[in-house]
Structure 1
Amino acid sequence: MTTADSSALVVFSGGQDSATCLAWALSRYERVETIGFSYGQRHAVEMECREPIRQALARLSPLWAGRLGPDRVIPLNVLGEVSVSALTADLPVAGSRLDGLPATFVPGRNLVFLTFAAIVAFQRGLKRVVTGVCETDFSGYPDCRDDTVKALQTALNLGMNARLVLETPLMWIDKAETWTLAETLGGNALVDIIVQETHTCYKGDRSTRHDWGFGCGECDACRLRAAGWQRYSRLRSEEVEDLPSR
């Protein structure tokens, strides 16, 4: 029987970052469960990507298959009703709000997600909650910052008399390094899964296939993902060129 120290709950949206985090957790912990949130997001297609990604990761490694536990989806439509954003309403995804934050910022989203994830982890006896938030390459969301996550971890532990750890494996790496991390964890096979199966586009576009995956190619999420892929691909090419010839 595994201990709490060898288990984790991954906040899993179906996007590139959370899929990489799921692989990261499966490579470290003996029991890994996942949780997702349906909050009225306009890119709800990401929810349809979640289970195919879980199954693809299980097929990729017998060890990961044995470690992958149950998934649960929490309905949070009320968040989309009270937190108006270009991700929860038919508004332009480009530009900024009146307060200067990105139009796609959903106020309180990560705070709510991590709070519900912490409740589930606490009830399930899981020590860690893994999330793919990042301060290096992000769209300017204040709830993705390291200070925010650390403050919330303190509040959650005080409020539940717990010792939970909010893990953020992507916090200090950029999108190119996230692609590299995926390759390190699962080789080209994992990179291919992330390209083909994950969804990041804010507009929910899965009609257009790019080298880096599906998306409109214009929203902030697509631009970050594409730029990271280009840099990752360039670095890989340079590494190949630097190999000594036989």
Structure 2
Amino acid sequence: MSASKPTKRSDNSLGALVLFSGGQDSTVCLAHALSRYAHVETVGFDYGQRHSVELECRARLLKEFADVFPDWAGKLGPDHMLDITGFGQIAETSLTGKSEIVMLDNGLPSTFVPGRNLVFFTYAAALAYRRDLPVLVGGMCETDYSGYPDCRNETLQAMERALQLGTEKDFQIDTPLMWLSKAETWALADRLGGQPLVDLIIEHSHTCYRGDHETRHDWGYGCGDCPACELRAKGYREWQASL
């Protein structure tokens, strides 16, 4: 679901920039964008993550997309990697440092990186402005999520308006997962790309906060007990039970 009013132009005439981390949600968003928009590019961010696994996974995923889905390969344009490690230094959390993953007194997990999505969209919009890509696609969700305030639809509606005002460009933020549970996200992947996309997510995407890409589960790789793994596993099992 988009965080904005529908564009007056048809989707199949637009170019899109996908915020692509190499995780499950951004992988489904990439498939969504390739099924909907005329031209799709991707952007990733090195913000000083505590591990580089997701950055390594995203390169493999992009190659797999081109190989497994030849009909989409012609739409898939350049990938852009942006170095914003300075941001990670001022927003040190369990995702950018070595501290343990715990719940904080404010009710948020210690993995919350303050302002991360706002920074991501600002950088993405600057890149999209130059690349003439009016749609920014992100995997933010406020249904099954860790409570991050910068994943909420209200936040992204405000961000979209700020980008439009600040650039004089009619940017649209498209968040197809906003109102989906994790089980529904797995189902969407199946609808978009069938078993090949589901298999690609299981084998090549990375979500685990601890960077474990060696321990294999039916839902993919991960430690199995961090909040990201728990959400992913729960969603996968609910989706499987519904089939």
TM over 0.5: yes
C-alpha separation in 1, matches of 2:105 and 2:172 = 34
1:214 matched to 2:221? The reply is yes
In 2, are the aligned partners of 1:131 and 1:168 still within 8 Å (CA)? yes
Corresponding residue for 2:17? 9
Corresponding residue for 1:90? 98
1:176 matched to 2:183? The reply is yes
1:156 matched to 2:156? The reply is no
1:24 matched to 2:32? The reply is yes
Q: Greater shift after overlay, 35-44 or 169-178?
A: 35-44
Letter in 2 for 1:54: L
2:36 partner SS: coil
1:125 matched to 2:132? The reply is yes
Letter in 2 for 1:197: H
Equivalent residues in 2 for 1:31-42 (5 A)? 31-42=39-50
Question: Runs (4+) of structure 1 moved beyond 6 Å?
Answer: none
Q: Greater shift after overlay, 141-150 or 118-127?
A: 118-127
Letter in 2 for 1:170: L
Unaligned runs of 5+ in 2: 1-10
C-alpha separation in 2, matches of 1:184 and 1:57 = 16
In 2, are the aligned partners of 1:14 and 1:198 still within 8 Å (CA)? yes
Indicate which of 64, 82, 86 corresponds to 1:74.
82
1:225 matched to 2:228? The reply is no
Q: What CA deviation, in whole Å up to 9, does each residue of 1:159-197 have, x standing for no partner? A: 111100000000000100000000000100100000000
Corresponding residue for 2:4? none
Unaligned runs of 5+ in 1: 237-246
Percent of pairs identical after alignment? Answer: 53
In 2, are the aligned partners of 1:5 and 1:126 still within 8 Å (CA)? no
TM-score normalized by structure 2?
0.93
How many residues align? The count is 233
1:166 partner SS: strand
2:165 partner SS: helix
CA-atom RMSD in angstroms: 1.2
C-alpha separation in 2, matches of 1:78 and 1:148 = 23
In 1, are the aligned partners of 2:13 and 2:38 still within 8 Å (CA)? no
Letter in 1 for 2:140: V
Letter in 2 for 1:78: G
Q: Give 1 or 2 for the bigger CA radius of gyration.
A: 1
